[in-house]
Chain A
Amino acid sequence: MSRSALRSGLLILLALPGALAAQSARTWQDSTAKLAAELRALRDSMLEGDSTIEEVARRGDLTISASQHLRAEAAEALEKLVAARTRWFGGATPSPSGFRIVLEPGNASPEREAEPGLVVLSGAPDSGHAPRARRVIRSREFGVGLVDQFGEMMYQSGGARLLRWLELAPPLSMPDHERRHLAMYTVMTGTGSAQRECVAGRLDDCAYVLGLGPPTRGEPGGAYPPFLRADLLLATLELGGPGAWERLRAASTDSLDAVLSAAAGIPFDSVLARWRDGIFAFRPTDRLIEVPRVLFAVGWTGVLLLAALAGGLSRWT
């Protein structure tokens, strides 16, 4: 290399810091985000280069496509997602740019590998900036995977404060009965002093153990596990009915109690009281045995006695 070439290289190196400083940090951030989105879109299109993928069904702004052998499962999964979405989030989407969830079938059983293929759910407009997620899941659980992944995306969009408080994405795919039953046992068997007071009916203590208020006593004990916060959020959305999620998102800069109150459309104390009442409704009843069961048992006893009498009549003949 000639001496003049070395000198010109040195000059360029000396000039670079000035040129870099000329660009604002904001511009760099924007271009990085844009590049990342484009890279994601490119990666998706490469991974989904399956010629058999075709649109299977469309519901409003949701479109599901699938490889040939996964079409039935994909259509079923979309119906589950539509039902869950309507119930919990109305027509809301995780982002104005839409979203995309890709499901890949996992191993059907330890002995047999899953046949390759893909299911792609797109939420319009599904631009390059749309949030994306990919899951490997058994094909018979596509509905569960889709609902849970969509739920996670929605919570991400609910604001940093809500996300920090929740810790755990509410289990949307869990049957109501199971979720409420588990929540009921968790509440009723809490051993901290504030937890016991919440069971006894003190809503201030309920707010504390749910991470929504200050402690009300010297030694309040621990808070409830994150699962109960998730249950409270779902109960709140249920209370608020259609539009609850939009109201929650609109109030996402307020305090958490205000957010929940806005979503439910009732004062925060009433939200807690209604949630607690709902939990109590799942307790086993005082009567461990219902009257019909008693009647059936007595009836069967009569039938068996008749059978014994018939046996007794014939046994010595």
Chain B
Amino acid sequence: MLKAMIRIQWRACWHLVIALAVAAMALPIVSVRAGWSGAQGNLPRFLTELQLWGFFYPGLAAVTALVLGIAIWTSDRRGHHVYALLLPLPRWRYVLLRYLAGLALLLPVVLGLWAGAIIATTGLALPPGIRVFPHAIALKFLLALLVLFGVAFAAASASSRTLGIGFRLVGLFLAVHIAVVLLKPGTNLLWTVVSALGSSPWPLAPMAGRWMLIDV
């Protein structure tokens, strides 16, 4: 059953998966090649540039999670869930199969990034003290992707009513944030919440920290 589900989802989203995998593979290679020519003479600059490129990793994880999380449920939404209701399956099992098939679609993206990181760092004549982290960055990307995909999948699988309540709550929070900023300019509720969610043990913690493919 899982195989069938993966096949269905692959047929629906293969072009997205391929595009994201290529982007994931290209990211580490481009980030290193872009600054490597001048690195021997100016290592701090190269590492600073690499750190800036590092912001693209969580960005790519977020885009991947969002795109695939939504794409997985598109066919069900379009068909008003008739297909799911026709299957001789409990609903929870159907959702679980969708989730596991979604995870399978994430794999090419993670493998693409891992391969790209290894290719980017192989053969570089690095001075002593400078190290490469292709495996660690791939693992960090996988963790970030897992959590973000969980968020996107849970949101996409929720009913329109639940989503509506969620959007209203987010809107209300933003309104309060703007009001607070206007009344007391030094206070930033949005940043406080985002920072809290990005620190351990909260869900966005895997996105935080340094995303360095090459570091000291």
Residues in A lying within 8 Å of B, measured CB to CB: 184-191, 196, 199-200, 283-284, 286-289, 292-294, 296-301, 303-305, 307-309, 311-316
- List of A residues within 8 angstroms of B203 by Cβ: 297, 300, 304
List B residues at the A interface (Cβ < 8 Å).
Answer: 40-44, 47, 81, 84-85, 91-92, 94-96, 98-99, 127-131, 133, 136-137, 139-140, 143-144, 146-147, 150-151, 153-154, 157-159, 162, 200-201, 203, 205-206, 209-210, 212, 215-216
B137–A288 contact, CB under 8 A? yes
17 contacts between A and B (CB under 8 A): A184-B216, A186-B44, A189-B43, A196-B129, A284-B215, A288-B139, A288-B140, A289-B143, A300-B203, A304-B147, A304-B203, A308-B95, A308-B99, A309-B95, A311-B159, A312-B92, A315-B159
Q: Cβ of B128 and Cβ of A311 under 8 Å apart?
A: no
B209/A301 in contact, CB under 8 A = no
Q: Would A296 and B153 be within 8 Å (CB), given that A188-B129, A288-B210 are in contact?
A: no
Q: Smallest CB–CB gap between B60 and chain A, Å? A: 17
Question: Contact partner of B216 among A284, A298, A313, CB < 8 A?
Answer: A284
| Shortest 6 CB-CB contacts between residues of A and residues of B | A304-B150, A312-B95, A188-B216, A189-B43, A288-B136, A199-B129
Residue of B85, B131, B140, B216 contacting most chain A CB atoms (<10 Å): B216
Residue from the list A200, A299, A311 in contact with B129, Cβ < 8 A: A200
Q: How far is the CA of A315 from the CA of B98 in the complex (A)?
A: 15
Asked whether A312 lies within 8 Å of B91 as measured between CB atoms, the reply is yes
Inter-chain CA distance A311–B98, complex, in Å, is: 13
Q: Is the CB of A292 within 8 A of B200?
A: yes
Distance to closest chain B CB from A209 (angstroms): 13
- Which B residue sits closest to A201, measured CB to CB? B128
Number of inter-chain CB pairs below 8 Å = 125
Let me know if A300 and B200 touch, CB within 8 A.
no
Q: Which of B43, B143, B150 contacts A308 (CB 8 A)?
A: B150
| A contact face: mostly helix, strand, loop, or mixed | helix
Say whether, besides A311-B162, A312-B92, A312-B95, A288 and B205 are in contact (CB < 8 Å): no
Given that A188-B129, A305-B99 are known contacts, is A283 also in contact with B216, CB under 8 Å in the complex?
A: yes
**Contacting pair B81 A301 (CB below 8 A):** no
In the complex, the answer to whether A189 meets B47 with C-beta atoms within 8 Å is: yes
CB-nearest residue of chain A relative to B159? A315
A199-B127, A289-B140, A293-B206 given; A315·B153 CB < 8 A = no
**How far does the alpha carbon of A296 sit from the alpha carbon of B91 in the complex, in Å?**
28
Report A119 CB to chain B, min CB distance, Å. Answer: 25
Q: How far is the CA of A286 from the CA of B134 in the complex (A)?
A: 11
A316:B158 contact, CB within 8 angstroms: no
Give me 16 other A-B pairs in contact (C-beta within 8 A), A196-B128, A296-B200, A312-B157 excluded. Answer: A185-B216, A286-B133, A288-B139, A288-B209, A289-B206, A294-B139, A297-B146, A297-B205, A299-B201, A304-B203, A312-B92, A312-B94, A312-B95, A314-B159, A315-B159, A316-B81
A306 nearest in chain B by CB position: B154
Tell whether, in the assembled complex, residue A304 and residue B136 are in contact, meaning their CB atoms are under 8 Å apart.
no
B92 touching A309, Cβ below 8 Å: yes
Residues from chain B with a CB closer than 8 A to the CB of A312 are 91-92, 94-95, 98, 157
Whether the Cβ atoms of A297 and B99 lie closer than 8 Å is no
